[in-house]
Structure 1
Amino acid sequence: MIRPSLDRFAVRSFALAALAVLAACGDPEPIKVGIIVGLTGRSADLGEASRNAVQLAADEVNQSGGINGRPISLIALDDEGKPEAAAAAVRRAHEEGVVAIIGPNLSSTTTGMLPEINRLEVITISPTASSLDFVDIDDFLFRINWSTRENATIYAKHYHNMGIRNVAAAIDANNRAFSESWLNEFKSAFEALGDVTVVSDLFDANSDQGYSSTARKLLESQPDAVLLIANSVDTAQITQQIRKLDKQTLIVAAEWAASERLLQLGGKAIEGIEMVQSYDRNNQSERYLDFKSAYFERFKRLPGYASVASYDAALMLFAALRKDDDPKTLKKNLIGLPVIDGLQQPLKFNKYGDAERRAFFVTVQDGSFVQQ
């Protein structure tokens, strides 16, 4: 059941193996699920990780007989990391007849998709979008991730307890729905702890300004720590410029940067950089180790936080579809799900379709993420 790519947004349309035993009257009709993530652009590492994890989850369902006898068919569309492309991908997925969408990863592309998913009433489960703009709203967007408020507050308390009082932050102009929300929540939580200052600089990776200018501006205030609210590519490049000017100041990155691409691009400059990840890289549970092994065997790379969150998103969607694969009841069934065992933590949507994640601080040491 492989569907051809029909327009520029359909980077790859793929269907997973059909059921081992088919009904005598012919193949059962597949349940179509869209995946809308950035498969090109500066956050493509997150998109690929999400697509891979959902593919693995769907494979497992199909190999065990599908959902009520029907196989899952995945249709992957590239949002290009752009809000307008993400909105167009929603329309394309709806035309293809998907019952739901998993994605996107970025808050900016989620903002672009939101009017369309609500207009078309297509259930969409984002693994990683976290802007406060999406919280406590009764709509068709579900989120696996925590919000920027919860995440930024964790950072604020942690680094205040470490004695950090003066912070200089860089925020990404191309994902302001996330980066500005994150900074505002961090400032609010940090300043509530007393005797602190936070200065910030807005950077645009698409401009001609370059990262060296951003690095100089961040260091002008002689901060105790530099905070980078950016993707893995920009975080690596800004850190490299900072280290040319300053070898000692602590550099902290928002969770958005915490992917394997940061390790690949950062080199020695990112040694010592700290951030939060929403999963335990050292988890030794049988379930996670089986997932990790299957993921590596299939894709020749280790799973990251987007992989884990996307697999959990697929688990929730498939559990709701087992109750009833009618799209009209899917929203009610997702909210009504009991606690589901995720890869590393219990999963449950509240009445607004929001969920929670755990937090693990990591440091880059010898080219690897090491849990603190």
Structure 2
Amino acid sequence: MKKTIIFSGLIITFLTYIFYSYNSSKVIKIGLVAGLSGKYSSLGTDVRNGTVLAFEDINYRIDNTQFELIQKDDKQNKNEAKKVIEEFIQDDIKVVIGNSTSSMTKVSLESIKKENDMMLISATASSDDFSFKNDNFIRTQVANNYRKFQSLSLYAKEKNYGNILSIYDPNNMSYSKGYMSNFQKAYVKNGGKPFLDSIEITQSYENIKDKINAQEVDTLLIIANSIDSAKLIQYLKINGINKIILCAGWAQTMDFIEEGGKAVEGVLFNTGYNSNSQEEKYLRFVVQYENKYNKKPSVFAAQAYETANILIETLRMDNNVLNLKTNILDKKNFKGLQGNITFDKYGDVNRKFFMMSVQDGQYKKVN
């Protein structure tokens, strides 16, 4: 009887310890905002998927710190993006992953600029508008600056891209404008010609086709999301327009290949990720991603996974979110899926870029 009482007492003590340990856990809310619906959802969904996978790896917990990931859709709409940030502020969320496009990131930054204790970190926003600023924003995506386009412009000149005509999405102008401007600047400096023309992709396909045919175009530069880019290329190929086609990294998702089919074979991308990398860390990620989502990860899913892991690694050292940006920039170097990720003092990163193209329904590195 005495042994039973002692044993029961130990069980009660143990359960009481577990109860109070669990209830004394610190909960860190992390917001995630991306375009999760509509034609821009391919990018946003990949960002969400990569982020979720990283937090699932640690079961949303580090010791006594529990993470709560709160996901919201900005619908690629300025008012919706503002509304989401206001909701995060009301919910006392200090760390936000997002947005998936540069234009929506610009809206969010404007909304949180007075919130000195709030940080926005993006895996995909690449507008040069965010560069060299000491603010509450950092990113793991390389900025669309002159330096990024050096290798692309040299490749284009070497391969005789000749006269380039750009087709861009005006609904993500922060990204499109910087891409066109800085690529053209690098291309001209390396001996190429200024772009012939720039056309909004929101025009009718027939109008775009007629403008291409009216000029001596050698290369088409398409700066748009994966679905719009693939559909336009299909239309142009069907209508006999066979030019060199270079797409902005924004379109480099698996949806681009699935939507475009044979029409997108040979389309070129300038990227910092090799889909065929044999690095062990990257291969493990690919297997995990395919097992969970039944599809191959895009470059954006990979960058989102890296971004979430940078947050996790830094919060493992210090779970005070108010120190997060300082701690990330102090550490500076992080191991990514394909090499190191190094932040400068402003929270921008640099990666080595190279050419990839669609070959046999896959993204493959161009030698």
TM-score (norm 2): 0.89
CA distance in 2 between counterparts of 1:224 and 1:199 reads 10
Matched, 1:106 2:101: yes
Matched, 1:83 2:83: no
Structure 1 residue ranges, 4+ long, deviating more than 4 angstroms after superposition: none
One-letter amino acid of the structure 2 residue matched with residue 349 of structure 1: F
The percentage of counterpart residues that share the same residue type is 28
CA distance in 1 between counterparts of 2:44 and 2:324 reads 24
Matched, 1:53 2:50: yes
Matched, 1:194 2:188: no
1:173 corresponding residue in structure 2 = 170
1:246 corresponding residue in structure 2 = 240
Unmatched tracts of structure 1, length 5 or more: 1-21
One-letter amino acid of the structure 2 residue matched with residue 102 of structure 1: I
1:95 corresponding residue in structure 2 = 90
Q: In the alignment, is the contact (CA less than 8 A) between 1:50 and 1:307 conserved in 2?
A: yes
2:298 corresponding residue in structure 1 = 304
Q: In the alignment, is the contact (CA less than 8 A) between 1:168 and 1:219 conserved in 2?
A: no
- Deviation of 1:193 after TM superposition, in Å, equals 1.9
One-letter amino acid of the structure 1 residue matched with residue 87 of structure 2: R
**Count of residue pairs brought into register by the alignment:** 346
Select the residue among 234, 243, 261 that pairs with 2:228. Answer: 234
Q: In the alignment, is the contact (CA less than 8 A) between 1:201 and 1:218 conserved in 2?
A: no
Per-residue CA shift, 1:28-65, capped at 9, x if unaligned? 232111111110122211111111111111111237xx
Matched, 1:126 2:122: yes
User: Which structure dedicates a bigger proportion of its chain to helix?
Assistant: 2
1:116 corresponding residue in structure 2 = 111
Say if 1:61 and 1:358 are closer, same or farther in 2 by CA, change over 3 A.
farther
- Deviation of 1:83 after TM superposition, in Å, equals 2.6
Say if 1:360 and 1:193 are closer, same or farther in 2 by CA, change over 3 A.
closer
1:367 corresponding residue in structure 2 = 361
- Deviation of 1:137 after TM superposition, in Å, equals 0.3
CA distance in 2 between counterparts of 1:354 and 1:125 reads 10
- Deviation of 1:218 after TM superposition, in Å, equals 2.8
CA distance in 2 between counterparts of 1:269 and 1:262 reads 10
RMSD: 1.7
CA distance in 2 between counterparts of 1:114 and 1:145 reads 16
CA distance in 2 between counterparts of 1:281 and 1:239 reads 22
Select the residue among 329, 347, 350 that pairs with 2:323. Answer: 329
CA distance in 2 between counterparts of 1:196 and 1:245 reads 27
- Computing the radius of gyration from Cα coordinates, the structure with the larger value is 2
1:12 corresponding residue in structure 2 = none
Per-residue CA shift, 1:79-137, capped at 9, x if unaligned? 11123222221121222232311111111101111112222232111101111100010
Say if 1:242 and 1:179 are closer, same or farther in 2 by CA, change over 3 A.
same
CA distance in 1 between counterparts of 2:245 and 2:332 reads 40
- Alignment of structure 1 residues 246-265 onto 2, 5 Å: 246-265=240-259
TM-score (norm 1): 0.88
Greater shift, 357-366 or 181-190, is seen at 357-366
- Alignment of structure 1 residues 312-327 onto 2, 5 Å: 312-327=306-321
Matched, 1:347 2:350: no
2:263 corresponding residue in structure 1 = 269
CA distance in 1 between counterparts of 2:196 and 2:107 reads 29
Q: In the alignment, is the contact (CA less than 8 A) between 2:274 and 2:364 conserved in 1?
A: no
Unmatched tracts of structure 2, length 5 or more: 1-16
Say if 1:195 and 1:267 are closer, same or farther in 2 by CA, change over 3 A.
closer
Say if 1:192 and 1:53 are closer, same or farther in 2 by CA, change over 3 A.
same
Select the residue among 259, 277, 283 that pairs with 1:289. Answer: 283
One-letter amino acid of the structure 2 residue matched with residue 333 of structure 1: N
Q: In the alignment, is the contact (CA less than 8 A) between 1:165 and 1:197 conserved in 2?
A: no
